[in-house]
């Protein structure tokens, strides 16, 4: 078999160091991203850990309450003691009136508990020194706004596609994975990335799609891990893993003559691909001989 590329293990040390440095940095970045998800979306329902409810509350919103109440029960829970949070929520339930704001002493609570973070200087956070900013958060919680979704969507698509560009490029020099599996592992993150972003918008419209957010996120994670681990192992631990270790058994399985699931999938896909051209020709033929004349007649009759 002639090879058209240099195997990962055969690259020069400087290139390996470059690849490894990149993979490690991106890997740590991925971990931080997961931690961030835990702390923002994960707290949306007030309980630690990510659940379908969290996703629904984040994108669709919790339509049975206001943003202020959700936050006071969620990620802002630790910023004020129980009775003070209760007082704020009571005031919200009573219509968030501007007179009662002073009379009930809500202004004092906000000033002492919240304004140290929620002030003019804090960009991105609502400024609670202004009553209007607080009042705006006392209407129904409809989740992420379309404006914020647009922003996060394009940032994610540009940013994450770059990460997978380089991780995929490095992984494409791997030799232990067959071409079919490589194509799947390299292509999958892009499919899931688009599905992920799409699912945020769908969840904004209907909470049913929250499961798609989780599925797409997991798909991206799995393909990232697979490419990451394979690349690192091949570069630095080829002999202990793939020749002397567990990996050798995997290679035996890979090279056995039994058709693997991927092989069968691949041949179905190829067979399907071969049908596209005749199918298109057939469709065109049908349209020209049957479809178009009918439409033409119909248009003629109308004019």
Interface residue list for ligand HEC (CB under 6 A): 40, 67-68, 71-72, 75-76, 79-80, 113-114, 116-118, 125-126, 137
Alpha-carbon separation of residue 73 from 10, 43, 67, 86 (angstroms): 55, 9, 10, 10
Q: Which is nearer to ligand HEC, 9 or 118 (CB)?
A: 118
Rg (CA), the chain: 28
Give the CA dihedral 287, 292, 293, 296, nearest 10 degrees: 170
Of 110 and 186, nearer to ligand HEC (C-beta) is: 110
Q: Which is nearer to ligand HEC, 46 or 126 (CB)?
A: 126
Shortest distance, position 286 Cβ to ligand HEC, whole Å: 54
Decide whether 59 or 181 has the Cβ nearer to ligand HEC. 59
CB of 99 to ligand HEC, least distance (A): 19
Longest dimension (CA), the chain: 84
In whole angstroms, the minimum distance from the beta carbon of 206 to ligand HEC comes to 21
Q: Which is nearer to ligand HEC, 66 or 230 (CB)?
A: 66
Closest to ligand HEC by CB, 156 or 254: 156
The minimum distance between CB 94 and ligand HEC, in angstroms, equals: 16
To ligand HEC, the closest distance from the beta carbon of 82 in angstroms equals 11
Q: Which of 158, 133, 142 is nearest to 207 (CA)?
A: 142
The encoded tokens of residue 87 equal 């007082």
Q: Give least dist CB 201 to ligand HEC, A.
A: 18
Nearer to ligand HEC, 16 or 113 (CB): 113
Note whether 44 and 70 are within 8 A (CB): yes
Q: Which two tokens stand for residue 252?
A: 């035996």
CA-CA distance, 42 to 73, in Å (whole number)? Answer: 13
Measured CA distances, 288 to 28, 34, 208, 294, 302 (Å): 58, 54, 42, 10, 21
- Considering the complex, what minimum distance in angstroms separates the CB of residue 137 from ligand HEC? 5
CB of 90 to ligand HEC, least distance (A): 13
Nearer to ligand HEC, 68 or 186 (CB): 68
Question: End-to-end distance of the chain based on CA atoms, in angstroms?
Answer: 67
Q: Which of 125, 163, 207 has its CA nearest to residue 27?
A: 163
CA distances, 208 to each of 56, 59, 64 (Å): 8, 11, 17
105-130 in b/e form (b: 16+ CB < 10 A) is ebbebbeebbeeebeeeeeeebebee
């Amino acid at each position: 078999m002639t090879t058209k590329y240099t195997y990962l293990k055969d690259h020069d040390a400087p290139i390996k160091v470059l690849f490894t440095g990149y993979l490690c940095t991106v890997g740590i970045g991925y971990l931080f991203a997961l931690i961030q998800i835990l702390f923002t979306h994960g707290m949306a329902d007030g309980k630690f850990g990510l659940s379908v409810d969290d996703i629904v509350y984040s994108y669709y919103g919790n339509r049975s309450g206001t943003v202020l109440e959700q936050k006071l029960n969620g990620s802002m829970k630790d910023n004020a003691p129980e009775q003070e949070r209760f007082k704020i929520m009571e005031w919200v339930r009573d219509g968030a009136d501007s007179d009662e704001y002073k009379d009930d002493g809500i202004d004092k609570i906000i000033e002492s508990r919240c304004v140290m973070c929620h002030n003019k200087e804090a960009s991105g956070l609502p400024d609670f020194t202004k009553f209007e900013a607080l009042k705006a958060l006392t209407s129904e919680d409809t989740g992420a706004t379309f404006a914020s979704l647009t922003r996060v969507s394009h940032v994610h698509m540009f940013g994450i596609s770059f990460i997978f560009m380089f991780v995929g490029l490095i992984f494409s020099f791997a030799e232990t994975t067959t071409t079919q599996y490589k194509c799947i592992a390299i292509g999958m993150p892009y499919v899931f990335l688009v599905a992920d972003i799409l699912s945020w918008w769908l969840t904004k419209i209907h909470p049913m799609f929250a499961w798609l957010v989780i599925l797409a996120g997991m798909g991206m994670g799995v393909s990232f891990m697979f490419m990451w681990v394979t690349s690192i192992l091949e570069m630095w631990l080829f002999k202990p893993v793939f020749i002397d270790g567990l990996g050798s058994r995997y290679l035996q399985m890979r090279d056995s003559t039994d058709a693997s699931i991927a092989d069968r999938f691949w041949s179905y896909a190829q067979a399907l691909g071969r049908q596209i051209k005749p199918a298109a020709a057939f469709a065109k033929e049908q349209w020209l001989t049957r479809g178009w004349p009918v439409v033409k007649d119909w248009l003629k009759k109308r004019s």
